[in-house]
Amino acid sequence: AQSVTQLDSQVPVFEEAPVELRCNYSSSVSVYLFWYVQYPNQGLQLLLKYLSGSTLVKGINGFEAEFNKSQTSFHLRKPSVHISDTAEYFCAVSDIWGTDKLIFGTGTRLQVFP
Amino acid sequence: EAQVTQNPRYLITVTGKKLTVTCSQNMNHEYMSWYRQDPGLGLRQIYYSMNVEVTDKGDVPEGYKVSRKEKRNFPLILESPSPNQTSLYFCASSTVGQGLAKNIQYFGAGTRLSVL
């Protein structure tokens, strides 16, 4: 079984500041890793994914994440945030050999202030 | 345009009155799934379907039913809704198989359900 822990439920930050949203996972098998973003009153949109290869993954809107197998982490970063990045961010994992089921973390609300 | 369409977007109902939330995708995806989103709990899978006539329980299936008679449609049925089913529901779909396309799930816009 897998589980995902997002350590921060809320992250307030000023515009143009850097941000890191933390995600740790637990799994007895190899997993794929994902970050999804949910803008207000919208569905979830894939931000980036790690399936294999380079551990530094670049996604949309200037976000990137680094897979760290030894620390079982997949933290999301952006060097300079915008007001429009205000949203809820979900980290998720999926067993690479199983069904397409996603196990989600509880989410981190990023609030960007002017 | 590739999309997952849920209807209705908002629904208020009373305890015990059967309801159906529809979900349709136009990407010819085999895999479809329903999640519920609750504050502090993230998204939890209710049911999923690997293909037509193949469905299985997720993590929180109690009180829900699904069917998959056609590849594009995956309705969620609440036979006798209760207040603890008040939640935000998402339908998702993806292609099955190995490779880079695996597990890339596309989500609908969500259905906010209130059961009084």
**Residue of chain B minimizing CA distance to A52:** B100
What's the gap in Å between the CA of A31 and the closest CA on chain B? 11
* Predicted pLDDT of residue B102: 63
CA A65 to chain centre: 7
Torsion from C-alpha of A1, B112, B13, B53, nearest 10 degrees: -50
With an 8 Å Cβ cutoff, are B90 and A44 in contact?
A: yes
With an 8 Å Cβ cutoff, are B102 and A51 in contact?
A: yes
- The whole-chain average pLDDT of chain B stands at 92
* Predicted pLDDT of residue B108: 94
* Predicted pLDDT of residue B85: 97
Structure tokens at B81: 């809704």
* Predicted pLDDT of residue B99: 57
From the list B42, B100, B107, the residue facing A105 with the nearest CB is: B42
* Predicted pLDDT of residue A61: 92
* Predicted pLDDT of residue B97: 63
**Residue of chain A minimizing CA distance to B111:** A43
Question: Which residues does chain A have within 8 Å of residue B100's beta carbon, measured at their own beta carbons?
Answer: 51
Share of chain B above pLDDT 90, in %: 82
**Termini Cα distance of chain A:** 41
d(CA A59, CA B35): 24
Share of chain B above pLDDT 70, in %: 94
* Predicted pLDDT of residue A41: 82
With an 8 Å Cβ cutoff, are A101 and B45 in contact?
A: yes
Q: Which of B23, B41, B43 should be substituted to probe chain A, the one whose Cβ sees the most A Cβ atoms within 10 Å? A: B43
d(CA B112, CA A111): 23
Kindly give the parts of chain A with pLDDT less than 70: 98
Cis peptide preceding B8, ω within 30 of 0:
yes
Kindly give the parts of chain B with pLDDT less than 50: none
* Predicted pLDDT of residue A101: 82
With an 8 Å Cβ cutoff, are B107 and A99 in contact?
A: no
* Predicted pLDDT of residue A2: 85
Say if residues B27 and B104 touch (Cβ distance below 8 Å). no
